[in-house]
């Protein structure tokens, strides 16, 4: 690669940034000084509207005390449902099908406790080999709670090299023995986007229920969960949702299942007008709010008022278009500049099969991530050999993508990663 070629890369990026319809949103974030942030798929940067909303709710607490539950601009008593309605358009859901509550892991336990009802020959749960650990732990625990041995009742669809999942294999594994399938929309390591409509239709055809994990797609792309007949879904809000560390998570229950008794009820599962009757018999809500459990974490939900409004203003389709342009540009740069340096792209190249990040495999991935951080580029590492790079569409730029790949090239050409101990101590 000559210096001239590198200049051309820079010019491309300048042109692309100049034509970016979402460029103004960059100012709505607290960017890290002199740093390129490529980790929006783990934790979105601090959004100014999200922090303003948090401040408003804190002020309501200061000014109203207990009356904040029912008073003020955002009565806390209704916040789970209100935020659910704000998130619903990003999921292709009806407002009453979504609630914001708890964490992804807790919400998955709720979905399993509510909808995994083994009966007759239909006793199995289907997941994929590269499932996020919480998903695998949760499904195994629910099999065990039903006295079912995961060795016989957990169907794990293999994925090539533990990463690339073949949808044909998923569809082939859906049969009359599967009670529930738990699958990601986007695989967290490789960024592979599944054809969830095809999978939802296959699940319906064989009578299995489908729960989707949208942690890596929520806020990055549109979904069509209501129309596709997806039974249940879970998602986090701290990645592309920009809700902040540990922000409350989301859950989706399709209209056709609303009214199903929650498996893990609490008093916040109640119909709103019945909750303060304090009766010891639950009258459950007839909306997704029924599947929350206890008092909502208001301060972990407040930022979402600003963050969801920001996504709505940007437009989820424009967000997806920019995300694809950024990752497509990154793939082009990687092809042009990292050839022969030991990298392979683990993310599918086709736009329709790509999520929001690009996964690069390299034998020295852990040390390369350390070298990137020291060069003020924030990636993340996923064992055994993946560098994940996520140019977030609301605040990432094409110039940052070009610069990231240029820095990666320098690190690899100069073997700068050798300066770091070969330990996998990166978390994110
Ligand atoms: C795909 C996926 N599923 C589940 C989780 C677990 O989410 P939580 O820790 O918020 O419960 C994560 C967290 O990053 C994830 O990426």
Look at residue 407 and tell me whether its pLDDT is greater than 50. Answer: yes
In 150-246, the DSSP E strands lie at 154-157, 159-160, 164-165, 178-184, 209-213, 232-235
Residue where one domain finishes, among candidates 265, 281, 314: 314
Q: Which residues of 301-311 are buried (b: 16+ CB within 10 A; e: fewer)?
A: bbbbbbbbebb
Would you say residue 35 lies in a domain? no
Q: What is the pTM of this model?
A: 0.96
Whether residue 201 sits in one domain with residue 185: yes
In 3D, which of 232, 145, 252, 120 has the Cα closest to residue 137? 145
Q: DSSP characters for 42-98? A: TSPPPBHHHHHHHHHHHHHHHHHGGGGGTSSSS-GGGHHHHHHHHHHHHHT--GGGE
Look at residue 313 and tell me whether its pLDDT is greater than 50. Answer: yes
Whether residue 213 sits in one domain with residue 283: yes
pLDDT score for 107: 98
* pLDDT confidence tier of residue 425, bands split at 50, 70 and 90: low
**373/377 Cα distance (integer angstroms):** 5
Whether residue 261 sits in one domain with residue 243: yes
Cα of 215 from ligand 1 centre, angstroms: 6
In 3D, which of 74, 109, 28 has the Cα closest to residue 299? 74
Cα of 42 from ligand 1 centre, angstroms: 9
Higher model confidence: residue 313 or residue 3? 313
Residue of 111, 132, 187 to test ligand 1 pocket, by largest number of atoms within 8 Å of CB: 132
Q: Using CA positions, which residue lies closest to atom 15 of ligand 1?
A: 215
CATH of the domain at 59: 3.40.640.10
pLDDT score for 427: 43
Cα of 31 from ligand 1 centre, angstroms: 24
Would you say residue 427 lies in a domain? no
Domain that includes residue 359, residue range: 3-30+315-419
Residue of 131, 236, 359 to test ligand 1 pocket, by largest number of atoms within 8 Å of CB: 236
Whether residue 328 sits in one domain with residue 241: no
Which residues does a 6 A CB cutoff place in the pocket of ligand 1? 103-105, 132, 134-135, 184, 188, 213, 215-216, 236, 249
Whether residue 260 sits in one domain with residue 195: yes
Atom of ligand 1 nearest to the CA of 107: 11
In 3D, which of 318, 207, 194, 211 has the Cα closest to residue 254? 211
pLDDT score for 356: 98
325-359: pLDDT as tens digits: 999 999 999 999 999 999 999 999 999 999 999 99
Would you say residue 40 lies in a domain? no
pLDDT score for 160: 76
Q: Using CA positions, which residue lies closest to atom 16 of ligand 1?
A: 215
pLDDT score for 337: 96
Whether residue 228 sits in one domain with residue 179: yes
In 3D, which of 385, 323, 318, 393 has the Cα closest to residue 355? 323
Whether residue 247 sits in one domain with residue 364: no
Query: With contact defined as beta carbons under 8 Å apart, do 342 and 362 qualify?
Result: yes
Catalytic residues: 132, 213, 238-239, 388
Whether residue 305 sits in one domain with residue 322: no
Provide mean pLDDT across the span 69-89.
Answer: 97
In 3D, which of 5, 20, 7, 11 has the Cα closest to residue 391? 20
* pLDDT confidence tier of residue 422, bands split at 50, 70 and 90: confident
Cα of 170 from ligand 1 centre, angstroms: 21
* pLDDT confidence tier of residue 2, bands split at 50, 70 and 90: very low
Among the ranges given (3-7, 257-261, 410-414), the one the predictor scored with the smallest mean pLDDT: 3-7
Atom of ligand 1 nearest to the CA of 246: 10
Provide mean pLDDT across the span 289-303.
Answer: 98
In 3D, which of 183, 231, 185 has the Cα closest to residue 207? 231
- Could you give the 3-state DSSP secondary structure of residue 377? strand
- Could you give the 3-state DSSP secondary structure of residue 153? helix
- Could you give the 3-state DSSP secondary structure of residue 165? strand
- Locus of tokens 């929350």: 292
Look at residue 162 and tell me whether its pLDDT is greater than 90. Answer: no
Would you say residue 214 lies in a domain? yes
Look at residue 89 and tell me whether its pLDDT is greater than 50. Answer: yes
Look at residue 390 and tell me whether its pLDDT is greater than 50. Answer: yes
Cα of 214 from ligand 1 centre, angstroms: 9
CATH of the domain at 398: 3.90.1150.10
Whether residue 320 sits in one domain with residue 298: no
Phi, psi of 142 (to 5 degrees): -75, -30
State the average pLDDT for the chain. 95
Look at residue 268 and tell me whether its pLDDT is greater than 80. Answer: yes
pLDDT score for 3: 37
Atom of ligand 1 nearest to the CA of 105: 11
195-242: pLDDT as tens digits: 999 999 999 999 999 999 999 999 999 999 999 999 999 999 999 999
Q: For the chain, what percent of residues have pLDDT higher than 70?
A: 95
Whether residue 238 sits in one domain with residue 226: yes
Whether residue 66 sits in one domain with residue 185: yes
* pLDDT confidence tier of residue 159, bands split at 50, 70 and 90: confident
Question: 373 exposed, middle or buried (CB, 10 Å; 0-12, 13-18, 19+)?
Answer: middle
Query: With contact defined as beta carbons under 8 Å apart, do 37 and 45 qualify?
Result: yes
Whether residue 342 sits in one domain with residue 404: yes
Domain count, the chain: 2
* pLDDT confidence tier of residue 417, bands split at 50, 70 and 90: very high
């Amino acid at each position: 690669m000559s210096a001239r070629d590198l200049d051309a890369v820079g010019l491309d990026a300048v042109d692309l940034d100049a034509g970016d319809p979402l460029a103004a949103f960059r100012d709505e974030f607290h960017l890290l000084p002199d740093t390129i942030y490529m980790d929006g798929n783990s934790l979105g940067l601090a959004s100014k509207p999200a922090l303003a909303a948090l401040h408003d709710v804190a002020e309501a607490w200061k000014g109203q005390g207990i009356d904040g539950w029912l008073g003020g601009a955002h009565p806390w008593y209704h916040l789970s449902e209100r935020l659910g309605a704000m998130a619903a358009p990003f999921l292709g859901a009806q407002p009453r099908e979504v609630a914001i509550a708890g964490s992804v892991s807790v919400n998955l336990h709720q979905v399993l406790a509510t909808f995994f009802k083994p009966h007759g020959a239909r006793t199995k749960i289907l997941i994929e080999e590269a499932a996020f650990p919480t998903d695998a732990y949760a499904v195994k625990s629910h099999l065990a709670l039903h006295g079912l041995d995961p060795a016989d009742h957990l169907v794990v669809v293999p994925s090539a090299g533990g990463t690339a999942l073949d949808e044909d294999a998923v569809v082939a594994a859906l049969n009359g023995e599967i009670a529930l399938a738990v699958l990601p929309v986007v695989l967290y390591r490789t960024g592979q986007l599944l054809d969830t409509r095809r999978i939802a239709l296959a699940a319906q055809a064989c009578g299995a229920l489908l729960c989707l994990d949208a942690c890596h797609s929520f806020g990055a792309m549109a979904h069509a969960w209501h129309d596709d007949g997806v039974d249940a879904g879970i998602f986090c809000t701290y990645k592309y949702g920009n809700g902040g560390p540990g922000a409350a998570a989301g859950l989706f229950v399709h209209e056709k299942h609303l009214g199903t008794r929650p498996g893990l009820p609490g008093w916040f599962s109640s119909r709103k007008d019945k909750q303060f009757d304090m009766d010891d018999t639950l009258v459950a809500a007839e909306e997704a709010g029924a599947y929350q459990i206890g008092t909502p974490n208001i301060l972990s939900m407040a930022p979402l008022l600003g963050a969801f409004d920001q996504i709505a203003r940007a437009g989820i389709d424009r967000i997806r278009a920019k995300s694809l342009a950024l990752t497509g540009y990154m793939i082009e740069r990687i092809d042009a500049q990292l050839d022969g340096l030991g990298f392979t792209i683990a993310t599918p190249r086709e736009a329709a099969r790509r999520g929001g990040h690009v996964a690069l495999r390299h034998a020295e991935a852990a040390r390369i991530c350390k070298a990137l951080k020291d060069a003020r580029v924030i990636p993340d590492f996923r064992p055994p050999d993946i560098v994940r790079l996520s140019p977030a569409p609301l605040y990432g730029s094409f110039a940052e993508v070009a610069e990231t790949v240029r820095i990666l090239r320098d690190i690899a050409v100069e073997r700068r990663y050798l300066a770091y101990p070969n330990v996998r101590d990166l978390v994110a």
